[in-house]
Every structure is written in C-alpha cells, then in structure tokens.
Amino acid sequence: MKTGIDALSFYTPRYYLDLVTLAEARGVDSDKYCVGLGQQHMAVCPPDEDVITMAATAALPLLRNGVGDAIDTIFFATETGTDQSKAAGIYVHSLLDLPSRCRVVELKQACYSSTAALQIACALLRQKPDSKILVLASDIARYGLGTRGEPTQGCGAIAMLVTTEPRLLEIEAESGYYTADVMDFWRPNYKDEAVVDGHFSTKVYLSSLMETWRGYEKASGLSFGDVTRFCYHLPFTRMATKAHHLLARHTGNDQLPDETLDAQIADSLHYNRVTGNSYAASLYEGLTSLLDKSSEDLTGKRIGLFSYGSGCVAEFFSGLVQTGYTDHIRRGAHEKLLSDRVKLSCDEYEAFYSFRLPQDGSDLNVPQNLTGPFRLGRVSEHKRIYQKVG
Ligand code: CAA
C-alpha cells in the first residue's frame, strides 16, 4: 500500500524585511547575509498572526470539496507552542469547522517534529487506509534583535494532506534516523527567543546528516546516484549547499561538477530564500518550492529529504514523485502570496518584533494588520480569541 503526501500548501505572513535593509541597520556588509547565508528576505509575523492563524490559512485550500469531512487526525508540529497544555491544532480544527470525530495532537522536537508527524501519519494510514490525515507545521523563528541569528529568522506554515492515494509524493518506508543529546539550540519555557550555539549547531547538523545517510543507505540499499533531487532542512539556504556538497564528498561523488550538485538542490531553495527559517515547516517549504519551481518533469523521480531538529533528532528518507503531480501543486497561489507581500522598514519590523501580548490575564484587542483569512483578534482572561477576516 502506498502512503504519502496527497496535497501541500504553504503560507507565510504578508510582511517581510529585506536583508539588505537589516544589514544596513546593523552595520554589516549585506553580502554576509545575501551571499554568506544565502538569504534575501525574512518573513515577519504581525502581532495578529501566530502559528495557529498561519497553519489554518495554509490548510484552508486543502479542505475544499468535502475533504475536510474526511480528516480524522490532525498533527500539529511546532516549537512555537502557544500553550503548555492545549494543542494549537484544536484552534485550527475549530477555525476550519472540521468534524468533531477527529483526534488532534501537538508534536515537539525542534524542526524535526513535522517529519515525526508525517511518518506517524503514514503508519496510521496502514491501519486505516480510508482515512485522511492533516499534518500541520508552523513556526516563528526568533533569535533577538541584533544577534548573529537575527538574519536567519523567518516564519511560515505548511499543511500536508497525507493519504493512501498520494497525488504528489509517495513516502518510501526505509529511512535512517539518529538522536544525540546536544545543546546546539533550545528555548527554555521562560524565553521568547531561542538560545543557540550557532557554529556548533551547523556542525551537529552536518554530522547528523552523515549518520542518517548511513542508516538510510543501509536500510534501503540505495546510493547517492539513485536520488535525483535533494531537499534539506533549511535554517538558511547556504546550509543546504554545504550539506549537499559534503554528502557528495562523503559518498565518493566529489567528481560531480559543482553545477550538477547545485542543480540537485536549487529549486528547493527559492521559497526559503525569501521567507527565512520556518523551523518545523522549513523542509516541507523546500519540498513545495521544488515541486512548484522545477522546470524538469519530476514524475517517477526519487527525492531525498533530510530533516534536522536541534537537540537533536534527524532523519534521512525519500519519496517518489507521482504521475500527474503538476496538476495538484499550488504554484500560482504560492507565487502570488510571496509577490503580494509588503516590505517593512527596519523600525516597522522592530515594532512588530517587540510587541507582546499581556501575560497577566488582562484584555487586549490586538492591533489589526494585513493577515490571511484568520487573525488573533483579542486576548482576555489568558484566552486567545481568533477571528475570521472578511
Ligand atoms: N561576503 C560574503 N560572505 C561573507 C561575508 C561577506 N562580506 N561575511 C561573512 N561571510 C560568510 C562567512 O564566511 C560565512 O560563510 P562560511 O560558513 O562558508 O564560512 C557566512 O557568511 C556566515 O558568516 P559567519 O559564520 O561569520 O556568521 P555568524 O557567525 O554571524 O552567524 C550563524 C552565522 C552561526 C549561522 C548564525 O546566523 C546563527 O546562529 N543562526 C541560527 C542558528 C542556525 O541557523 N543554525 C543552523 C543549524 S541548526 C538547525 O538547522 C536547526 C534550526 O533550524 C535552527
């Protein structure tokens, strides 16, 4: 039985900061951000959007024509949790008017949790092949104003419909996975921003890639040449370039020209370059970008996917692109979403960034900005109250 991704939708807020503007404000050569990190823009979340509104907006287009009625499980992957107890997916379930005969749960392991959700969804479907599972990944990457991590901030959400008749990508059963107790990046409960040992985190990312590749190779019997395109977890696009070249060397493929290696990942990088890191959503934003942007017909091709979550857990796995996939991608909607965004000045970005909801239970009507069809309208008595827009 096949299991895999039937539909994919991506959402990022309506505002962005140009990294040249950020570099000027921080007194840094803009090539460091644009060439050294490989980033162009950074998506910025306004006060009335959060991981819940982003995920609901990403999911909305996938649930038309009665699909929503067939959803029996929602997994919500995030490291930007809004509550220590209640799953963020329950608000999404409510905003999208999904059936009450549904289970909803939140998963956490840094940026890796979306892959755990996808793998668990595929396993559940083997027990109950008629069901449809909604996997949501939504995050806001925050390191702090003026920090070294600041140019790698960003935000966004992915919604994936996972079924036994996947029209986009069949997920293959074999994978290599790896866990190690490392402190490369974490966020204690009392902090709004991640604590990160940046250079160490890039080293752990690369060593985890080697470990998971070894496991994948052993489990699948496949080699580097069996994989046509690669999607990597994308904290910033240069990370994927480094990872891919290292993997090629490690597997004895260093005779391949740089252009060949770069072409194997190039299409997966477009969206991340203009949104920045979306943590748990980031790998699947890369996959969306690849399917949307590839000028080559990818039908039948094997895509390698590397998922990395600091702390750390990682997995290398693969999928086969399905016949007719181009009829089911949402390229036009994704491109319009990105081209319609509003550019912020550095002061406007800092004002959005510095906004805080009350933490003492008092009431606040959240200032209204451009959003998708859902917004956080109010907080009162420690409750988040969402609104449908227009
Ligand atoms: N022109 C061109 N390139 C330049 C340049 C210039 N003027 N100035 C610097 N560069 C290059 C540097 O040479 C470097 O490239 P190499 O790595 O190839 O040498 C690159 O730009 C970055 O420069 P620095 O290493 O000096 O940058 P930094 O120390 O200020 O910060 C960072 C880089 C550590 C990644 C920091 O942005 C950070 O901490 N980011 C958050 C953590 C992160 O993203 N980690 C990734 C792995 S962990 C993960 O993937 C999980 C996750 O989602 C967080």
CB 205 less than 6 A from any atom of ligand 1: yes
Query: Which of 109, 150, 201, 283 has most ligand 1 atoms within 8 Å of CB, for mutation?
Result: 201
d(CA 143, CA 81): 16
Average pLDDT of the residues of the chain: 98
Query: Which of 19, 31, 32 has most ligand 1 atoms within 8 Å of CB, for mutation?
Result: 32
CB 142 less than 6 A from any atom of ligand 1: no
Closest ligand 1 atom to Cα of 282: 53
pLDDT in tens, 331-342: 999 999 999 999
Nearest residue by C-alpha to atom 41 in ligand 1: 149
* Residue-level pLDDT at 21: 98
Structure pTM?
A: 0.98
| Residue 72 predicted with pLDDT over 90 | yes
Nearest residue by C-alpha to atom 44 in ligand 1: 235
Across the range 9-34, mean pLDDT stands at 98
* Residue-level pLDDT at 386: 98
> Known catalytic residue: 233?
yes
> Known catalytic residue: 346?
no
Across the range 22-50, mean pLDDT stands at 98
* Residue-level pLDDT at 93: 98
* Residue-level pLDDT at 390: 80
Across the range 44-67, mean pLDDT stands at 97
| Residue 254 predicted with pLDDT over 90 | no
> Known catalytic residue: 111?
yes
Nearest residue by C-alpha to atom 31 in ligand 1: 148
Q: Which of 49, 79, 150, 315 is catalytic?
A: 79
Across the range 317-338, mean pLDDT stands at 98
pLDDT in tens, 270-310: 999 999 999 999 999 999 999 999 999 999 999 999 999 99
- In the chain, % of residues over pLDDT 70: 100
Closest ligand 1 atom to Cα of 239: 46
